[in-house]
Amino acid sequence: MSPLYGPFEIRPGRREDAGGASSLRNAAIANSTAIWTTRPQTPDEARLWWGGLVDRGAAYVADHDGMIIGYGCWAPWRPAEGYRFTVEDSIYVAADQQGRGIGRRLLTALVDGARDSGAHVMLADIEATNTGSIALHSRLGFETVGTLREIGTKFDRWLDLTIMRLQLAG
């Protein structure tokens, strides 16, 4: 993707954005420790994953002239029903589009959308050396809860997980 510096729109995700969102997710899988797997999502998996988020109103994209240059979503933090008011966010911005405010606007949309849908707390599980994501979440009021040491592995090294928390409603 070539550098783009034009305007972008943050809007709710649609089913047809599955390919664009999945490309960003697969780039993060291949090139980073943001997602703790090395297995890319297949097109079928992407349609199921994204379709479920869209149906729940839990997906947003940054759209530049029809090109998906970022996406964000939230999902239940854990499946048991007692956790149903706690969600976890995920945000991915195209590598050559980072640092121009897309992540901030996506996370703002996620926070507002999750609050409107009745969520009580939003968590972010972030690989501990991901200073960009930690900075983004701090800017929007998330507080660091703590860091779990060496609970994951990728690229032949142990990974630490920093958990950040934002109260959405009283």
Ligand X SMILES: CC(C)(COP(=O)(O)OP(=O)(O)OC[C@H]1O[C@@H](n2cnc3c(N)ncnc32)[C@H](O)[C@@H]1OP(=O)(O)O)[C@@H](O)C(=O)NCCC(=O)NCCS
Contacts to ligand X by CB under 6 A: 28, 32, 34, 91-93, 98-104, 126, 130-133, 135-136, 139
CB of 28 to ligand X, least distance (A): 5
Contact 125, 160 (CB under 8 A): no
Place of tokens 């854990």: 78
CA geometry: angle at 18 spanning 13 and 22, to 5°?
A: 115
Rounded CA separation 155/35 (Å):
12
**Identity at 7, one-letter amino acid code:** P
Considering beta carbons, is residue 18 or 134 the nearer one to ligand X? 134
Record the tokens describing residue 170, joined without a space. Answer: 């009283």
Considering beta carbons, is residue 102 or 110 the nearer one to ligand X? 102
Rounded CA separation 76/47 (Å):
19
Considering beta carbons, is residue 26 or 98 the nearer one to ligand X? 98
CB of 56 to ligand X, least distance (A): 20
Q: 13-52 burial, b for 16+ CB within 10 Å, e for fewer?
A: beeebbebbbbbbbbbbeeebbbeeeeebeeeebeebbee
Considering beta carbons, is residue 139 or 149 the nearer one to ligand X? 139
Considering beta carbons, is residue 32 or 86 the nearer one to ligand X? 32
Place of tokens 């780039």: 27
